[in-house]
Amino acid sequence: MACDPGQRRALVTGATGYIGSHLVKFLVDSGWQTSIVIRPGSDLGCLDELQNRIEILVHDGTVAGMVKLVASSRPDTVFHLASLFLAQHRSEDIDTLVTSNVLFATQLVEAMATAGCGRLINVGTSWQHYANDGYNPVNLYAATKQAFDDILRYYVEATPIKAVTLTLFDSYGPNDPRRKLLSLLRDAAMHGTRLQMSPGDQLIDLVYIDDMIAAFLCAASLLPVPDRAHMRYRVSSGEPVNLRQLVATIERVTGKTLAIDWGGRPYRPREVMLPFCPHPPLPGWAPSISLDQGIARVMFGAS
Ligand SMILES: NC(=O)c1ccc[n+]([C@@H]2O[C@H](COP(=O)([O-])OP(=O)(O)OC[C@H]3O[C@@H](n4cnc5c(N)ncnc54)[C@H](OP(=O)(O)O)[C@@H]3O)[C@@H](O)[C@H]2O)c1
C-alpha cells in the first residue's frame, strides 16, 4: 500500500465486526491509510473489495507480535473495537473472554506505548453501569470491558498515550450478521415467525450504524488533548424506546403485524430496564438518522 506522507494513518481492531467493518469502509473512503489487525482465523468476507485497499496484519497472539505490527504500521490513531460479546457466559468461555477483552487490548496499548503511537479510541459499554452505578457490571463481558479500562488508566498516566473511550448502548443497521434483537424482529416481520418475548418494558437506546461511525470520527478529532489523557463519552440516541415501542415502530414502517407473545419468556437475569451511562455526551456529535428512517433501511435495505 503506497503511503502519502500527508495521509492520516489508522489501525483498526475488530475490523471484521459489524461496527469495525463499517468504520474501515468509511476511513478508506475518506482517504485514511488503514491497517487492520485480525486473528489467523478471522473471516474477512464482510470487508469484500476493501481488502485490497487496506493493510491486513495477522496477530499471532503474542505481545512481541503485536509490537511488530504496530511498529510497522505506524498509525497516528488506533481504533480499538475488537471484543467478544457474551450476554451470559459459561465456565468454558472464561479464557476466550479474558483473552479477547483484556489480554489482546493490553497487548495493543503496550505495543502503542513501545512504538510511540499516542492516540487511542477505545469502546466501552453502558452495561458497565448496571442500576445507574458508576461501575456495576451487568455481566462478565462488561466486567472485562471495565478491567481493560482500569489497565488503560495505567497507560494514560505513565505513557504518552491519550485515549477517548466511547461508551456505546446499542447499534443497528442493514445487513447486520450479529444475531441481535432487531435481526429477530426483522425475520419476524418478513417471515411471520412467532416470537416469545419478555414483557417488553425495558428501554433500548439504538444508534444507527452511520451515526455510530460518525461518532468514532468525531472522537478521533478530539485527540490529542492537552489537558486530559483519558476522556469518556456516551454515544446515545437521546431517545430510548421500550421494546414494545420498537415493535410498534417496525409494524408502522413495514405495515405488518408481528406475532409476539409478550411475557412468553422472562426478563434476562440483571436485565437492563433503563440504560444508563454516567459520562457526558460526545461533544460535537448528534445522531442524524431517526428510528423510523433507520428501521426502514433495515427492513427494506434502502440507504
Ligand atoms: N451493541 C453494540 O453495538 C455495542 C454496545 C456496546 C459496546 N459495543 C462495543 O463495540 C465494539 C464493536 O462491536 P461490534 O458489535 O461491531 O462487534 P462484533 O460485530 O461482535 O465484532 C467483534 C470483533 O472483535 C474481534 N475479536 C474478538 N475477539 C478477538 C481477539 N481475541 N483478537 C482479535 N480480534 C478479536 C472479532 O474478530 P474475528 O473476526 O476474529 O472474530 C470481530 O472483528 C466492541 O468493542 C463492543 O464491545 C458494541
Shared domain for 47 and 134, answered yes or no, is yes
3-class secondary-structure state, position 168: strand
Closest C-alpha to ligand 1, atom 41 = 42
Look up the domain containing 268 and give its range: 179-204+239-275+289-300
Shared domain for 59 and 183, answered yes or no, is no
C-alpha distances in angstroms, 140 versus 35, 80, 101? 30, 19, 10
Phi–psi pair at 72, nearest 5 degrees: -75, -35
Does 194 fall in a domain? Answer: yes
CA of residue 14 to ligand 1 center, whole Å: 5
Does 284 fall in a domain? Answer: no
Shared domain for 131 and 165, answered yes or no, is yes
Query: Tell me, what's the pLDDT at 2?
Result: 46
CA of residue 261 to ligand 1 center, whole Å: 31
CA of residue 192 to ligand 1 center, whole Å: 30
3-class secondary-structure state, position 266: coil
**CATH code, domain with 129:** 3.40.50.720
Shared domain for 58 and 183, answered yes or no, is no
Q: Amino acid identity, residue 29?
A: D
Does 3 fall in a domain? Answer: no
Does 91 fall in a domain? Answer: yes
Shared domain for 269 and 296, answered yes or no, is yes
**Residue whose grid cell is 512481541:** 64
Does 283 fall in a domain? Answer: no
Shared domain for 127 and 248, answered yes or no, is no
Q: How many domains is the chain built from?
A: 2
Among residues 12, 134, 166, 26, the alpha carbon closest in space to that of 75 is found at 12
C-alpha distances in angstroms, 186 versus 51, 172, 214, 247? 29, 12, 25, 10
Pairing of strands 241-242, 203-204: antiparallel
CB of 24 closer than 6 angstroms to any ligand 1 atom = no
CA of residue 107 to ligand 1 center, whole Å: 16
Shared domain for 225 and 85, answered yes or no, is yes
Does 25 fall in a domain? Answer: yes
Each of the 303 residues of the chain gets a pLDDT tens digit; together they read: 444 556 799 999 999 999 999 999 999 999 999 999 999 999 999 998 899 999 999 999 999 999 999 999 999 999 999 999 999 999 999 999 999 999 999 999 999 999 999 999 999 999 999 999 999 999 999 999 999 999 999 999 999 999 999 999 999 999 999 989 999 999 999 999 999 999 999 999 999 999 999 999 999 999 877 777 999 999 999 999 999 999 999 999 999 999 999 999 999 999 999 999 999 999 999 999 999 999 999 998 855
Shared domain for 17 and 60, answered yes or no, is yes
Closest C-alpha to ligand 1, atom 13 = 19
Shared domain for 142 and 252, answered yes or no, is no
Shared domain for 81 and 159, answered yes or no, is yes
Shared domain for 36 and 142, answered yes or no, is yes
Closest C-alpha to ligand 1, atom 20 = 17
Angle between helix 243-254 and 181-191 (nearest 10): 40
**CATH code, domain with 184:** 3.90.25.10
CB of 95 closer than 6 angstroms to any ligand 1 atom = no
CA of residue 20 to ligand 1 center, whole Å: 8
Shared domain for 253 and 119, answered yes or no, is no
pTM for the model? 0.97
Does 217 fall in a domain? Answer: yes
Does 223 fall in a domain? Answer: yes
